[in-house]
Structure 1
Amino acid sequence: MLVADLMTSQLRCLKETDCLADAVAAMQELFIRHVPVLDADGRLAGIVTQRDLLALEHKKDAGTALREVMRTDVVTVAPDTPLRTAAETMIFHKYGCLPVVADGELVGIITETDFLKLAIFPLAPRRAG
């Protein structure tokens, strides 16, 4: 199985110019813990996580731009990356998610929750044809 088989492809992304309050609102509205941040050209610039927001809660103003606080050292995977490779990367580095990038464009995200869902609700076999 590949990352493309499990990743979430309908993403809620924010822009570098959006603020911490926007990230909090997106996470609460959609019950998510990771929000990719895009640059002006629509390319992945960083990521903001729920853990990051909790750490910044009393240190930064809610109007602080995401470009000032997002993680920019983001490890990504391709859609054709084997699931085992993605899982090992997440486990060994303690990442909660990996953005999925193809040809420089963000196409999805794979999270710990995706792997948990796979363990509980295995994917149905694909039909040929």
Structure 2
Amino acid sequence: MFVADLMTSQLRCLKETDSLADAVAAMQELFIRHIPVLDADGRLAGLVTQRDVLALEHKKDPGTPLRDIMRSDVATVAPDTPLRTAAETMIFHKYGCLPVVAAGNLVGIITETDFLKLAIFPIAPRREG
């Protein structure tokens, strides 16, 4: 199985110019813990996590642009990355998610929750043909 088999492709992304308050609102509204941040060209620029937001919520102005607080050194995987490789990367580096990038474009995200769902609700392998 590959990352493409498990990743979430319906993403809620924000822009670098969106604010910390926008990130908080999106996380609360959608019950998510990771939000990819896109640059003006629509490419992955960084990531804002719930942990980041909680650490900054009372230290930063809610209007602070995400470009000032996002993580920009984000590890990514490709859709054809084996699930085991993605899981090992997440475990060894203690990442809660990995954005999925193909040809320079963000196409999905794989999270710890996706792996938990797989453990509880296994999916049938794809059939060729």
TM over 0.5: yes
RMSD: 0.7
After superposition, residues 3-18 of structure 1 pair within 5 angstroms as 3-18=3-18
After superposition, residues 1-129 of structure 1 pair within 5 angstroms as 1-129=1-129
Match for 1:76: what amino acid? Answer: T
Shift of 1:57: 1.4
User: What percentage of aligned pairs have identical amino acids?
Assistant: 88
* Partner-residue secondary structure (3-state), 1:60: coil
User: Per-residue CA shift, 1:69-109, capped at 9, x if unaligned?
Assistant: 00000000000000000000000000000000000000000
Shift of 1:58: 1.4
Match for 1:107: what amino acid? Answer: V
Cα distance in 2 between the residues matched to 1:119 and 1:45: 31
TM-score (norm 1): 0.98
Q: Which structure 1 residue ranges, 5 or more long, are not aligned?
A: none
Match for 2:22: what amino acid? Answer: D
TM-score (norm 2): 0.98
Shift of 1:21: 0.6
Cα distance in 2 between the residues matched to 1:125 and 1:42: 32
Q: Which structure 2 residue ranges, 5 or more long, are not aligned?
A: none
Shift of 1:124: 2.1
Cα distance in 1 between the residues matched to 2:37 and 2:7: 17
Shift of 1:52: 0.2
